[in-house]
Amino acid sequence: MADLVYPPVIGFARTWFKALDLRFDIQGTEHIPRKGGAVLVSNHISYLDFVFTGLAARPAKRLVRFMAKDSVFRHKVSGPLMRAMKHIPVDRSQGEHAYRHALKALRSGEIIGVFPEATISRSFTLKDFKSGAARLAQEAKVPMVPMALWGTQRLWTKGHKRDFGRNHFPVTIRVGEPVHPEPDEPTFKVTERLRERVHDLLEAAQRAYPGVPKGPEDSWWVPAHMGGTAPTPAQAKTL
């Protein structure tokens, strides 16, 4: 079935990016396969991460089907759009249904987008990974493509107001070489390898990021270990 909704949504997003005057630094998009199934795995620091993760797949002319919490699909505006773009609702109390849906999509040659931290990281550091991405890749016999986003938290993240003004925010995206899990490799080992790759890409994105806080009051988006005022991982966990 043709994608009638997804391409116009992408066009709208690109127009919006221009209106916000976002500055992109994207590297590694050649690692996203041009055909066949794959699991695209990213860190999660913003409500808008799915938009930017999907953007990284456009040079390969691929559309990403994201796994997202089912409440997004129940919303009167986002729900119809999410279903029309063939994203996958996840009911955390009945996750196997979403898993089977994603597995079928991977076997049919789709790219599935996963945020294995499950929720936004308030500390902007990498949280522990759930094993779902590794399980899917192993069972579907497809690669996992790690990537990292940085700067997206400045637009809209948990605990902070949206900032959609023309602030010339930079957004840095790094995509890494595919991770190929072995069929008999323990899933927790695959998950550990995947997390290490995303962590390395996140640090690379942070090093390359040109933006700096305008002052102490603007350092909330910088992790504590980098001198910012974001919560530490321990503090974020209590939140």
Q: pLDDT (tens digit, 9 = 90+) per residue, 130-154?
A: 999 999 999 999 999 999 999 999 9
Range of the domain at 203: 19-210
Q: What is the chain's Cα-based Rg? A: 17
Q: Please report the pLDDT score of residue 92 as a whole number.
A: 78
Q: Is 167 inside a domain boundary?
A: yes
pLDDT classification of 1: cutoffs 50, 70, 90? low
**CA atoms of 76 and 139, how far apart (whole Å):** 34
What does pLDDT average to over the chain?
Answer: 95
| Domain annotation covers residue 202 | yes
Residue 224: pLDDT band (50, 70, 90) is very high
What phi, psi does 45 have (nearest 5°)? -130, 0
Q: Residue 167's pLDDT band (boundaries 50, 70, 90)?
A: confident
178-218 pLDDT per residue, tens = 999 998 999 999 999 999 999 999 999 999 999 999 999 99
In-domain check, residue 232: no
Q: What is the CATH number of the domain that holds 70?
A: 3.40.1130.10
Distance CA 156, CA 22 (A): 14
Reported as a single tens digit per residue, the pLDDT across 92-112 is: 777 899 999 999 999 999 999
**How many domains does the structure of the chain reveal?**
1
Q: How far apart are CA 147 and CA 141, in angstroms?
A: 19
Q: Is 233 contained in some domain?
A: no
Confidence at 80, pLDDT banded by 50, 70, 90: very high
4, part of any domain: no
* pLDDT value at residue 59: 97
Q: What is the mean pLDDT of residues 107-128?
A: 97
The per-residue pLDDT for range 227-239, each reduced to its tens digit, is 999 999 999 999 8
pTM for the whole structure: 0.96
| 223, part of any domain | no
**139: in domain:** yes
Q: Which two tokens stand for residue 168?
A: 């010339």
User: Which amino acid, residue 204?
Assistant: A
For residue 8, being part of any structural domain is answered with no
pLDDT tens per residue, range 34-67: 999 999 999 999 999 999 999 999 999 999 999 9
- In this prediction, residue 42 carries a pLDDT of 98
Residues 216 and 239: their CA atoms lie apart, in Å, by 22
* Residue 95 pLDDT: 82
The two structure tokens encoding residue 58: 């456009």
145 and 32 Cβ atoms separated by less than 8 Å: yes
Contacts of residue 97, Cβ cutoff 8 Å, sequence gap at least 6: 91
